């Protein structure tokens, strides 16, 4: 009996010694959850201007000397026209007080981009359609209460006004001589000619794909607003 018990014990020991130790499984790597993964957010597009906001901006700059010309559709556009990263407002106006609009030293800058000889002082006529560009300022861009730097452009209001990025402009006019705009452009048809309003060299100029020679008009002298002189 003792021999049987001894044989059984020896057999059990031999089995245990023949088994290989099992390695402990490594924990699976933790995968980042969607919440922990950084996401690149696209830049928010600028909100579309509302009529009430545009009226407020016009009132801020012109007081009651000019109003929105609602005979045009669209009558206002927004874009970064001077290329400083701030949204600007372009709005078609008609004069309400000619004496104020034709004052000798207005607090805005008068320009006539399509004139062969650029002039800084031009006379505005009754019911004339004008394009005012109010440059943006601060976090609220053209809606900011301090956004008052404004160009008033004469003889440039046409049909089918549309904002074009610089990339769109270059692509559409590939192979032609081009100016060097600093920001977005306004494409339109004026007196049957398709062209673009653009900002460069501290002023607004007109680009006609058929007649542009590569020489841009030099800006005229600036004056300071009455309040800062």
How do residues 152-182 score in pLDDT, each as one tens digit? 999 999 999 999 999 999 999 999 999 999 9
109 pLDDT tier (thresholds 50, 70, 90):
very high
The tokens for 156 are: 């440039």
Q: What is the pLDDT of residue 24?
A: 42
Say how far apart CA 140 and CA 79 lie, in whole Å. 13
Query: What are 16-75's pLDDT values in tens digits?
Result: 544 444 444 434 443 333 333 333 333 346 789 999 999 999 999 999 999 999 999 999
Cα-Cα end-to-end distance for the chain: 124
- Other Cβ atoms within 10 Å of 52 Cβ, number: 8
pTM of the model: 0.75
**Is 184 in contact with 208 (CB distance < 8 Å)?**
no
């Amino acid at each position: 009996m003792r021999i049987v018990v001894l044989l059984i014990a020896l057999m059990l020991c031999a089995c245990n010694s023949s088994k290989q130790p099992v390695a402990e499984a490594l924990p699976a790597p933790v995968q980042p959850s969607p919440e922990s993964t950084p996401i690149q957010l696209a830049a928010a597009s600028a909100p579309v201007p509302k009529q009430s906001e545009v009226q407020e901006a016009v009132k801020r700059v012109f007081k009651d000397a000019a109003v929105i010309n609602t005979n045009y559709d669209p009558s206002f556009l927004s874009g970064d026209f001077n290329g400083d990263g701030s949204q600007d407002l372009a709005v078609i106006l008609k004069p309400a007080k000619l004496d104020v609009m034709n004052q000798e030293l207005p607090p805005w800058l008068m320009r006539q981009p399509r004139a062969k000889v650029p002039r800084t002082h031009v006379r505005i006529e009754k019911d004339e359609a004008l394009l005012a560009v109010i440059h943006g300022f601060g976090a609220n861009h053209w809606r900011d209460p301090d956004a008052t730097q404004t160009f008033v452009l004469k003889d440039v209001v046409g049909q089918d006004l549309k904002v074009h990025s610089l990339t769109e402009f270059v692509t559409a006019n590939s192979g032609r001589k081009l100016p060097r705009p600093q920001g977005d452009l306004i494409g339109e048809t004026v007196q049957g000619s398709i062209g673009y309003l653009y900002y460069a060299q501290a002023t607004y100029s007109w680009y006609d794909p058929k007649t542009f020679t590569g020489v841009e008009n030099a800006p005229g002298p600036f004056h300071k607003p009455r309040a800062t002189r």
